[in-house]
Structure 1
Amino acid sequence: MPANNPHQSFHFRVEAGFSRIGFTHVQLPRMERDVIRYREGSDPVDSVRQLPGLLRLSDCVLQRGVIPVDHEFFQWMNTVHFGQAERRDIVVSLLDEQHQPTLSWRLRNTFPVGLEWSPLDAQGSGVLIETLRLSVEAMDILAT
């Protein structure tokens, strides 16, 4: 019988068509649905009906340590031009103790909208982190 313990968040895999998938942090998109407020003038009820509207997804954020000669984020960012972008589907999978996916999020038609690096610090001892922010058109949650 499987345990009813919550999943731990530190064991995950990102499949995005990159040659290296060593991500340190993934911020999955937030899902939020618009609310449409509607009322007819002849409606005898004195309240407003609320209808579900469009689903909106926030950006996905991927972070990883910068290594020499790996500029795939920068190259992908440069493919975006007015009205056109190289879109990719990305799958983020939460892994169990046997490194098998237990829950996955498929982010569809993503493209880069932001790229930044952590500060350079001559007195620090941290790793230089590269952060890519992706626009997400749709998301599926897949239980395995």
Structure 2
Amino acid sequence: MADNYYPPVGFYFKVNVIGVSGSNEGNFQEVSGLNIKLETQEVKEGGENRYAHRLPSPPKFQNIVLKRGLTTSSALITWAKAAVEQFTFSPKTVVINLMDENASPLASWNIKNAYPVALQFSDFKAQENGIVIETIDLAFDYFTRTF
């Protein structure tokens, strides 16, 4: 970016599912679920009644949700259908790149051992003039972010 003091925009990104090929597989309208949350558990100490120790638990991750317009032929949908219809899982690494105006990655999120857990299609409504959206939910082990 020309000026590193301005925050990057969130509308220019690319998604790559490593091992799932296709010319337009990474074109999505929306990606959500890049969240980490640490829970705490309380541990009471014998003889100490004023407080309980609050210790961190392992992190919890939400599912990654990918949304795009319906495609008629897609290796990504074939991979998702194998999981949700045939219960055949093939975990993949998913890389999400936030791009700058020169199409260079500003930040990358590497999602490890992702696999589809839901495949949804938007409602069909005769009174609206919208495109059909396909949504893929991915469960995964963890992700890392790099700049």
Partner in structure 2 of residue 87 of structure 1 = 91
Aligned length: 141
What is residue 25 of structure 1 aligned with on the other side?
30
> In the alignment, which residue of structure 2 is the partner of 1:46?
50
Contact 1:95–1:102 (8 Å) recurs in 2: yes
- Please give the alpha-carbon distance, in whole angstroms, between the structure 2 residues aligned to 1:61 and 1:18: 19
Checking the alignment, whether the CA contact within 8 Å between 2:120 and 2:136 is kept in structure 1 is yes
Is it true that 1:73 corresponds to 2:77 in the alignment? yes
**1:93-132 deviations in Å (ceiling 9; x for gaps):** 1000100001111111111111110111223221111000
CA-CA distance at 1:75 after TM superposition: 3.8
Q: In structure 1, what residue type is equivalent to 2:60?
A: R
Unaligned stretches of 5+ residues in structure 1: none
> CA–CA distance in 2 between the matches of 1:134 and 1:73?
12
Q: CA deviation at 1:72?
A: 3.0
CA deviation after TM superposition for structure 1 residue 39, in Å? 1.8
Q: State the percentage of identical aligned residues.
A: 25
Q: 1:77, 1:113 within 8 Å by CA — same for their partners in 2? A: no
Residue 114 (str. 1) matches residue 118 (str. 2): yes
| Pair 119,74 (structure 1): closer, same or farther in 2 beyond 3 Å | farther
Does the C-alpha gap of structure 1 residues 77 and 118 become closer, same or farther in structure 2, counting only changes over 3 Å?
Answer: same
SS, match of residue 83 in structure 2: coil
CA distance in 2, matches of 1:139, 1:71: 23
Is the CA contact (8 Å cut-off) linking 2:45 and 2:53 kept in structure 1? Answer: no
Match of 1:37 in 2: 42
Give the CA RMSD over aligned residues.
2.0
Q: Which runs of 5+ in 2 are unaligned?
A: none
State the 4+ residue runs in structure 1 displaced beyond 4 angstroms.
none
Instruction: Look up the match of 1:123.
Output: 127
TM-score normalized by structure 2?
Answer: 0.86
